[in-house]
Amino acid sequence: MMSFLGRLSVSGAAEAASWLSLLLVSLFLAGIRQRWPFYRPFLGFLVTGALLRTAAVLTDPIFTLPLLPGSWPAFDLKLLVFATLVQAWLLPCLAAALGRRAGRLRWLALGGLALQTAALALLATGQAAARLAEGLLIGWWSLSGLLAVAGLLLSARRRPPSARLAGLLLAVLPLVLAAVAGPLAAALLPPLVDTLAAQLAIRLPWLFCAWVLFALSLSEMSSSCRHEADIDLYASDMATSVSRFIPSEFLRQLSKDNLSDLRLGDHIKKDMTIFFSDIRAFTELSEGLTPEENFAFINSYFSRMVPLIDAHGGFVDKYMGDGIMALFPAENGADGALQVAVEMQKKMTEYNGHRAKMDYRAISLGVGLHTGTLMLGVVGVADHMEGTVVSDAVNLSSRLQSIAKAFNLATVISEATFMALNDPGHYKYRFIGKVRVKGKSDPVSVFEIFDGLPPDLFERKMKSNRFFEQAILAYYQKDYPDAVFYFKQALDVVPEDGAARFYLELCLRRTMGGKK
Query: For the chain, what percent of residues have pLDDT higher than 90?
Result: 23
Averaged pLDDT for residues 123-142: 50
Residue 77 confidence (pLDDT) above 50: no
Averaged pLDDT for residues 48-67: 49
Residue 104 confidence (pLDDT) above 60: no
68 phi and psi angles, rounded to 5 deg: -80, 145
pLDDT of 158 reads 52
DSSP codes, 431-447: EEEEE--TT-SS-EEEE
Where exactly are the structural domains of the chain?
2-239, 252-453, 454-516
Cβ atoms 347, 299 nearer than 8 A: no
How far apart are the C-alpha atoms of 343 and 346, rounded to whole Å? Answer: 5
Q: What is the dihedral of CA 400, 405, 406, 412, to 10 degrees?
A: 40
**Over the stretch 438-453, which tens digit does the pLDDT of each residue have?**
666 788 899 999 999 9
375 pLDDT tier (thresholds 50, 70, 90): confident
Specify the range with the lowest mean pLDDT, choosing from 108-112, 182-186, 444-448, 490-494.
108-112
pLDDT of 280 reads 84
DSSP codes, 360-384: PPP--EEEEEEEEEEEEEEEEETTE
Averaged pLDDT for residues 404-421: 92
pLDDT of 390 reads 78
pLDDT of 511 reads 84
Q: List the CATH code of the domain at 2-239.
A: 1.20.1070
Higher-pLDDT residue of 15, 271: 271
- Provide the CATH topology of domain 252-453: Alpha-Beta Plaits (3.30.70)
Higher-pLDDT residue of 64, 456: 456
Residue 490: which residues within 8 A CB-CB, separation 6 or more? 464, 465, 467, 468, 471, 497, 500
In degrees, rounded to 5, the angle at the alpha carbon of residue 405 between the alpha carbons of residues 404 and 408 is 80
10 Å CB burial of residue 332 (0-12, 13-18, 19+) is middle
pLDDT of 355 reads 80
pLDDT of 438 reads 65
Residue 143 confidence (pLDDT) above 50: yes
The half-sphere exposure of 37 on its side-chain side, counting CA atoms within 13 A, is 9
- Domain 454-516 in this protein, CATH class: mainly alpha
